[in-house]
Amino acid sequence: MRSSELAERAGVNVQTLRYYERRGLLPEPERLDSGYRAYGPDAVQIVRFVRRAQKLGFSLEEIDTLLELSAGGPASCEAARELAGAKVAELDQKLASITTMRDSLLRLIDTCALPRDRRECPLLHAIETEDQPGGTNDDC
């Protein structure tokens, strides 16, 4: 399929496709005699995966690693296991941070029922303690 068709099916613009190609996230397609790019059938799935992963907060470098893993990973099974294990550890850390922020927001909601001079905002404290090694927000 041509660039415009892929862009439409994947819900992105053509410039996004070019960018993904430059970054190596989307394999460079073959060229037709006319000079148009001819993308394979898996291109839509790849672009949608990249967009969804970005919305979930993954960086393009992380997405590149995920795509490598989905393609079978490195030739060495041990290297693939290490890559996947490192990614799981990163996700666990992100989940813990998101959970801390969620809990802070819930406490903020509860605090909003109090008079203004008795309210406490746990958000700043939650963010501040997350930046410190071993920091959690258990005292609110």
pLDDT tens digits, residue range 58-77? 889 888 888 887 877 767 77
Tally of structural domains, the chain: 2
Kindly state whether residues 106 and 137 are assigned to the same domain: yes
Residue at 109 is within a domain: yes
Same domain, yes or no, for 48 and 95?
no
Question: Are 23 and 76 in a shared domain?
Answer: no
Asked if residue 51 and residue 82 are part of one domain, the reply reads no
E-strand stretches of the chain: 30-31, 37-38
Q: For residue range 84-133, what is the model confidence (pLDDT) as tens digits?
A: 788 889 889 989 989 988 988 888 788 777 887 777 766 666 666 665 55
Residues 140, 112 within the same domain = yes
CA-CA distances (angstroms) from residue 100 to 36, 110, 130? 49, 15, 8
pTM: predicted TM-score of the whole model, two decimal places: 0.64
Per-residue pLDDT at 122: 66
Residues 49 and 8 in one domain: yes
Domain check: are 78 and 53 in the same one?
Answer: no
Range of the domain at 133: 72-140
CA 47 to CA 5: how far, in whole Å? 12
